[in-house]
Structure 1
Amino acid sequence: MQRKFRKIALAAALLAAGAFGIAHAAATAGAKGGFVAVKDSHFERNGQRYMVAGANFWYGGYLGAPTSVGQRARLVKELDRLKALGVNNVRVLAVSEKTAMKSAVSPATTSAPGHYDEQLLQGLDFLMAELAKRDMTAVLYLNNFWQWSGGMTQYLNWFTGSPAHDPNVSKDYERFMAENARFYTNARAQAEYRNVIAKIVQRTNTVTKKPYRDDPVILSWQLANEPRPGNSKSTPQDKATYVKWIADTAHYIRSLDANHMVSTGSEGLAGSAQDAQLYLDAHRTPDIAYLTYHLWPANWGWFDPKQPEATWDGMMDKALHYLNVHVDYAKQLGKPIVLEEFGLNRDGGSFDIKASTKVRDRFYDEVFTTLEKRAAAGDPVGGWAFWAWGGAGRAANADYWWKPGNDFVGDPPQEEQGLYSVFDSDASSLKLIADHDKRLKTIGAKQ
């Protein structure tokens, strides 16, 4: 999630045959080895329909670390809480890059090109092992368009020498997005990115001794968190570059690991310069197994938490259209789609954990119900993942901004702690999530 983006002939036959072969291989692998795979535009695992009822838990690998940054006892409790809610999937940051930007998490997995923090990688290992115990799965994203984990911004800093642009400071998101898109065409950055992909995908878990590529706990590898082609003025060349980067990178991952699906991490139209054709093209390659999209009404200027009644109806009209049109796009491509991020503020726009969540709960209920209706109609709804699990974490500072040593919560360091987190004390939200989890899985079981 970004902080606050304002406005947002023979050869062909052979290619088609190859595409079918890849898709068929992925489905077959899923059916045999406990891996989640796509069959008939839905997810399947061990011959059964699989519906994703997920939570964003980007910091899960951090909690699993054996060093001071880790909190393994907390991690175990958080996973138990999520399991009790019915959550069967978590979306997790697999790797971060060290940066001088203040609005980024630290420590980082990669301190410099080729230099990895083995303790943080062992944290990811521990997380994977614990998920296996609970029959849960994970989406692991391998980069970030946004600066809060270093991401593409830091790759450019390493290989072009350009200052790492922090849009939390400049407030210039248009400039930030245009600059960040240079990542896709920087040969050195792309080479290092593939080194990182290989490092993670080919890793053997130090806890379970199982290679990651053989581990059905992983639902999919994800190229990045919210990759974009550039800013709102992206050119046709920018868009073509972006589509090629997705196809090439996904194919590279599949060349290393034929067992797991690959996903983009796209926000949908909001992350595609509002270009439906671009969004479709980005997900058309056979190496991308399913579509993703995100929903952020307040970030996109659709909703004002300080004026909830005045802005609710307009927001929901836009939100429901956004939810439904993306399911329609998935139908066009014959692939599942997951709403893998959505959220709304606590009442009044407060960050205080004591603030009520009536408006957010109302929004969650509308989102869940809409997806359930589409799923019940047989549409390719693969599930959802709310943003984000804050669990037992708590904001430590009066200004609600994260500092190294503070608890990790669902809100990353680029935004106030408590902005969108669902905490273990949010009883009404937790009940809502649990109830809709049951409804979603009941629909899946009937189809």
Structure 2
Amino acid sequence: MTLSRRAVLAALAAAPALATPAAASAPKGFVAVRDGRLVLDGKPYRFVGGNLWYGAWLGSPAAYGDRARLGRELDKLKSLGVTNLRILGSGERSPAKVALDPTFRGPGQDYSADLLTGLDVVLAEMGKRDMKAVIYLNNFWDWSGGMPAYLNWTGNGAWFQQGDPAHPWPLFADYSARFYGDDKANALFRHYVKALVGRVSTVTGKAYRDDPAIMAWQLANEPRPGGSEAFGVGNLPTYYRWISETAAYIKTLDANHLVSTGSEGAMGCLEREACVVEAHKPAAIDYVTLHVWPNNWGWIDPKNQPATYATGEARCIDYVTRHIALAKGLNKPLVIEEFGLIRDDRAFAPDAPASLKDRFYKTIHGLALADMKAGGPVAGTNFWAWNGEGRAQHPDAWFAKGDKSYVGDPPQEEQGLFGVFDTDTSTLAVIAEHAKAVAAL
């Protein structure tokens, strides 16, 4: 449930003393925070963005890489007005059936030179196009290995994969959330973070900390304190401490870049708005993040989308509006960094009708634009996700290990379920129209 407004206001009352962003005076070309807003070289920084988790895979020199495609994808996104991309900078070897392979690391310290070089390449190419990257360093979900992979390595309980019928929801979320209190797992994680954040690009020769193509480091994709009330509430202090200490640690390695949580908002925080406030209070957390997933949260029924859309859309509008208010109370910027809806009739194919998806995009874009015009905390949006030229390689549209035609839908989902293909004319027009409106501000 959502806490009462009185409880949320009480939590916010303690926030201002802790909410002074650490990146208020960044070097030229770096995104910073000033007066609760994102700025770039002294001017408001507003953007239209997307998610391209597989950027490092395309940039890799290995056989699964495709640098020519990477260049074309970035050019296409730039032509639409997309200037900010959220990309995956980690990946842990996992026995999960739907996990990525290859990945950045196993349990040792022999990190993948190919994928690290791939990350160098995508950052260099984004820099050439005046685009900014948000790089997430871990994942609550096991499609990239993530926190469950670390727990598997340290032997913290019996490992199982998401969706295992023998371990129904919310057991997976409770299991993954053990990560925050596992000292051995976090020692492994921090070693990787130190290596990555402290890296020097093999392409530009520039240290990552000195690269303005990076907007922010992100602690993880959708970190949650747990799934059940019984486990999650008791785990909240550990969860808050992990956020605060990990963000502060990254700042010791790189004082030039912003740091964010990767949180979904209240729906990823035991449906508690006060949890969102507490998670974003630390001074080392520079802005608030928000994800909006009405199909996954049961607000819009994927099997009966037309009949349930209007009610679900209203809940989404309320959800975004509430989080704008939370960001204002924290005096921090807000980025709606994931939002998505399935196509009509739950189709996966390129060019399949997407009338309600397009309407949903317009709704989220409209909320963001209105707040930007009002001088509010919203800095930008990142739709989920860019499929571009990628296509499903199998008739059932599921990802299989060894596939190279990466799309924005991760291996845990059918390839094409939420993503935007380069031929999705109507959705591309919605994105381009919004980008034009934001650029005109």
Contact 2:341 2:357 in 1 (8 A): yes
Structure 1 residue 328, shift from structure 2 partner: 0.6
- Higher mean C-alpha deviation, range 260-269 or range 158-167: 158-167
1:27-81 Cα deviation digits (max 9, x unpaired): 111xx32110111111111122111311000000100000101011000000000
Partner residue in 2 for 1:353: 350
Partner residue in 2 for 1:146: 141
Structure 1: stretches of 5+ with no match in the other structure: 1-14
Contact 1:101 1:164 in 2 (8 A): no
Q: Which among 179, 182, 186 is matched to residue 186 of structure 1?
A: 182
1:174-212 Cα deviation digits (max 9, x unpaired): 000111111111111011111011010000000000000
Q: Which among 416, 429, 432 is matched to residue 430 of structure 2?
A: 432
**Partner Cα distance (2:289, 2:237) in 1:** 19
- Give the match's secondary structure for 1:179: helix
Find out whether 1:88 has 2:86 as its counterpart. no
- Give the match's secondary structure for 1:44: strand
Q: Which among 388, 407, 410 is matched to residue 408 of structure 2?
A: 410
For residues 305-384 of structure 1, what are the structure 2 equivalents within 5 Å?
305-384=302-381
Structure 2: stretches of 5+ with no match in the other structure: 1-14
Partner residue in 1 for 2:96: 101
Change (3 A) 1:380 1:428: same
- Residue type of the alignment partner of 2:70: L
- Residue type of the alignment partner of 1:382: A
Partner residue in 2 for 1:211: 207
**Partner Cα distance (1:354, 1:346) in 2:** 10
- Give the match's secondary structure for 2:326: helix
Over the matched positions of the two proteins, sequence identity in percent amounts to: 47
Change (3 A) 1:235 1:401: closer
For residues 24-423 of structure 1, what are the structure 2 equivalents within 5 Å?
26-29=23-26, 32-160=27-155, 162-170=157-165, 172-233=168-229, 234-406=231-403, 407-423=405-421
Contact 1:53 1:437 in 2 (8 A): yes
Contact 1:56 1:410 in 2 (8 A): yes
**Partner Cα distance (1:235, 1:77) in 2:** 43
**Partner Cα distance (2:85, 2:427) in 1:** 17
Partner residue in 1 for 2:9: none
Contact 2:333 2:379 in 1 (8 A): yes
Structure 1 residue 235, shift from structure 2 partner: 4.4
After TM superposition, the score normalised by the length of structure 1 is 0.92
Aligned residues, how many?
A: 424
- Residue type of the alignment partner of 2:379: G
Structure 1 residue 254, shift from structure 2 partner: 0.3
Partner residue in 1 for 2:7: none
Change (3 A) 1:236 1:300: closer
**Partner Cα distance (2:19, 2:412) in 1:** 39
Structure 1 residue 16, shift from structure 2 partner: 8.5
- Give the match's secondary structure for 1:112: coil
Change (3 A) 1:252 1:310: same
After TM superposition, the score normalised by the length of structure 2 is 0.93
- Residue type of the alignment partner of 1:27: A
**Partner Cα distance (1:135, 1:281) in 2:** 34
1:267-287 Cα deviation digits (max 9, x unpaired): 001100011111100001110
Structure 1 residue 232, shift from structure 2 partner: 3.1
**Partner Cα distance (2:398, 2:259) in 1:** 33
- Aligned Cα RMSD in Å? 1.5
Contact 1:267 1:292 in 2 (8 A): yes
**Partner Cα distance (1:84, 1:16) in 2:** 39
**Partner Cα distance (2:334, 2:409) in 1:** 24
